[in-house]
Amino acid sequence: MIIEITKWSTGFRKISFNKVLRRELKMTIAEAKTTVNEILVGNTVRLPYTKELELEVKKAELSYDLIDD
């Protein structure tokens, strides 16, 4: 399972937990959290799903407009 995060110029972020098989990025949880926090406008970032990353997303939902697909 891969987490997909998109940020648009309006500030809207789309979060989806995509089960489609994708090439997994090799990074630590800390690197993944940093990537989530530093997404550039209009970029989509795909990260390997982890329970820790899911918890970070749930925390972010308190601050941002996020949608789970």
Instruction: Dig out the tokens for 47 from the structure.
Output: 């990260």
Which pLDDT does position 45 carry in this prediction? 64
How distant, in Å, are the alpha carbons of 11, 44, 58 from that of 50?
24, 18, 12
Q: Which residue has the tokens 């690197």?
A: 31
- For residue 39, is pLDDT > 50? yes
Q: Do residues 32 and 50 touch, judged by C-beta distance below 8 A?
A: yes
Percentages helix, strand, coil for the chain (3-state, rounded to 5) are: 30, 30, 45
- Mean pLDDT for 30-53 is 62
This prediction's pTM: 0.33
The tally of CA atoms less than 13 A away on the side-chain side of residue 62 is: 4
Greatest mean pLDDT among 1-15, 17-31, 49-63? 49-63
